[in-house]
């Protein structure tokens, strides 16, 4: 499958809808800050770093539904799935979307590395707080019927990526979304995808610097089940990648 990966401040319905005509099977909305702590961090990120969605956590579900409507009204024939990427500091925070009936996939963000987000205990900080990450997964399993995706960044200092993957796969998590981040190098770490694929049956969505069909194929050859792109989508045309 072909996936549009989250881009905070960018991936709303208006931006995403065109990719329903570009061979994309999963569109990821957000990331969204779904509780007070991540909301505050999002404000700080917006000032210091880059624009984010400033959606009040109380209206999150309605706002997501509005974005989904924009996509589906633009292309009613599209049969793909909609995911929403979410940053949170507690398992309880996910209550904000328990009653949502339009989302297909909830993606737990254990990936974003902006200082304010990590200081709040969300995003990439969850890779160093496995207990909390697993509580979030557990809460979604217990209280919702969404497919669950967990987005992780590979090659984070002092994090054993393979150990985290082993813990995650003890839950019914459908998608493991891996940013095959390769510190200092402008191409994915295909080897880490290969190593993850050798220890898990979860559906691996892999990304990082996939800008051509050749790199897309390399990711699949490394063992990814699907490939996602983010930055390459900024110019609005990814048909050359997802041919």
Q: Under the criterion CB under 6 A, does residue 4 sit at the interface with ligand FMN? A: no
Distance CA 1, CA 93 (A): 29
> Minimal distance in Å, beta carbon 190 to ligand FMN?
13
**Which of 2, 20, 55, 85 is the binder for ligand FMN (CB under 6 A)?**
85
- Our CB check for ligand FMN shows the closer of 17 and 111 to be 111
Query: Residue 195 burial by CB count (10 A; 0-12/13-18/19+): exposed, middle or buried?
Result: middle
- Asked if 31 interacts with ligand FMN (CB under 6 A), we say yes
- What's the distance, CA 66 to chain centroid? 19
Q: Under the criterion CB under 6 A, does residue 226 sit at the interface with ligand FMN?
A: no
Helices H, strands E: what count in the chain?
8, 8
List 3, 10, 202, 205, residue binding ligand FMN (CB under 6 A): 10
Do 104 and 81 touch, CB atoms closer than 8 A?
A: yes
Total interface residues for ligand FMN by CB under 6 A: 22
Contact with ligand FMN (CB under 6 A) among 41, 82, 112, 133:
112
3-state secondary structure of 208: coil
117 scored as a contact of ligand FMN (CB under 6 A): no
Q: How far is the CB of 151 from ligand FMN (least distance, A)?
A: 4
CB of 76 to ligand FMN, least distance (A): 27
- DSSP for 74-98 reads H-TT---EEEEEEE-SSGGGGGGGT
Q: Does residue 6 bind ligand FMN (CB under 6 A)?
A: yes
Binding status of residue 16 toward ligand FMN by CB under 6 A: no
231 binds ligand FMN (CB under 6 A): yes
> Pairing state of beta strands 226-229 and 105-110?
unpaired
Alpha-carbon gap, residue 201 to 130, rounded angstroms? 20
Residue 132 touches ligand FMN, criterion: CB under 6 A: no
Which CB atom, from 73 or from 175, has the smaller least distance to ligand FMN? 175
* Local structure of residue 5 (DSSP, 8 states): P
Residues 151/179, Cβ–Cβ less than 8 Å: yes
User: Which of 64, 134, 193, 229 lies at the binding interface for ligand FMN (CB under 6 A)?
Assistant: 229
Q: Which residue has the tokens 């990526």?
A: 161
* Chain positions contacting ligand FMN, by CB under 6 A: 5-8, 10, 30-31, 50, 85, 109, 111-112, 151, 179, 207-210, 229-232
């Amino acid at each position: 499958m072909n996936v549009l990966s989250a881009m905070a401040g960018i991936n709303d319905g208006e931006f995403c809808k065109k990719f329903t005509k570009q061979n994309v099977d999963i569109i990821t909305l957000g990331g969204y800050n779904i509780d007070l702590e991540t909301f505050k961090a999002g404000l700080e990120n917006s000032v210091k770093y880059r624009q984010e969605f400033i959606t009040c956590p109380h209206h999150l579900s309605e706002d997501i539904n509005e974005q989904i409507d924009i996509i589906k009204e633009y292309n009613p024939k599209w049969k793909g799935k909609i995911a929403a990427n979410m940053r949170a500091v507690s398992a309880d925070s996910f209550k904000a979307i328990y009653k949502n009936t339009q989302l297909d996939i909830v993606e737990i963000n254990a990936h974003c590395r902006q200082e304010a987000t990590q200081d709040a205990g969300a995003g990439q900080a969850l890779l160093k707080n496995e207990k909390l990450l697993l509580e979030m997964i557990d809460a979604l399993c217990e209280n919702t019927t969404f497919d669950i995706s967990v987005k992780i960044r590979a090659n984070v200092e002092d994090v054993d990526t393979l150990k985290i993957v082993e813990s995650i796969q003890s839950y019914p998590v459908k998608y493991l979304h891996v940013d095959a981040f390769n510190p200092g190098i402008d191409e994915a770490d295909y080897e880490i995808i290969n190593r993850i694929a050798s220890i898990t049956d979860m559906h691996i969505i892999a990304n990082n610097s996939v800008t051509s069909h050749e790199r897309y194929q390399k990711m699949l050859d490394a063992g990814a089940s699907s490939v996602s792109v983010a930055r390459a989508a900024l110019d609005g045309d990814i048909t050359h990648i997802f041919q």
